[in-house]
Amino acid sequence: MDSNCLFCKIAAGEIPAEIIFEDDDLLAFMDIAPQAPVHFLVIPKKHIPGPAAVEEQDQKLIGKMMQLGARMAADKGIGDNFRLVFNNGAEAGQTVFHIHMHILGGRNMGWPPG
């Protein structure tokens, strides 16, 4: 755990969130500022700063994130049409430097993203 990290604090239960799934490795919770009718985040409990910091030993964990995201999307009624987003770096829109996967759905999505 990184004691300065917002998502580590959410994973530790120190900051409240609307948690929709939790197991030993992962946490899923609703985004505080939703950008679509359904918008939640999946994070590993392990502190990884972002996609560029993923290492060989994290491959299974990252795969689990995608599987969980798709499953929770189905639970939320957007299982057939949803977007997964990982931002890496401030210029790409990353504001929290603990890796997280956005799952957005419930509206039409534009392409390319802004």
For Zn ion, the binding residues (CB under 5 A) are 2, 5, 7-8, 47, 98
∠ CA(52), CA(72), CA(88), 5° rounding? 15
Minimum CB–partner distance for residue 48 and Zn ion (Å):
8
Q: Which is nearer to ligand 5GP, 32 or 110 (CB)?
A: 32
* 17 interacts with, out of Zn ion, ligand 5GP, none, CB within 5 to 8 A per kind: ligand 5GP
For ligand 5GP, the binding residues (CB under 6 A) are 6, 17, 29-33, 87, 93-96
Closer residue to Zn ion in complex, CB, 4/108: 4
Residue 87: contacted member of Zn ion, ligand 5GP, none (CB under 5 to 8 Å, by partner type): ligand 5GP
DSSP string, the chain: --TT-HHHHHHTTSS---EEEE-SSEEEEE-SS-SSSEEEEEEESS---SGGG--GGGHHHHHHHHHHHHHHHHHTT-TTSEEEE---SGGGT--SSS--EEEEESS---SS--
Residue 45 interacts with which of ligand 5GP, Zn ion, none, CB < 5 to 8 Å by class: none
Tokens in use for 26?
A: 């992962």
Told to judge if 47 belongs to the known catalytic residues of this protein, a careful annotator would answer no
Catalytically active residues are: 100
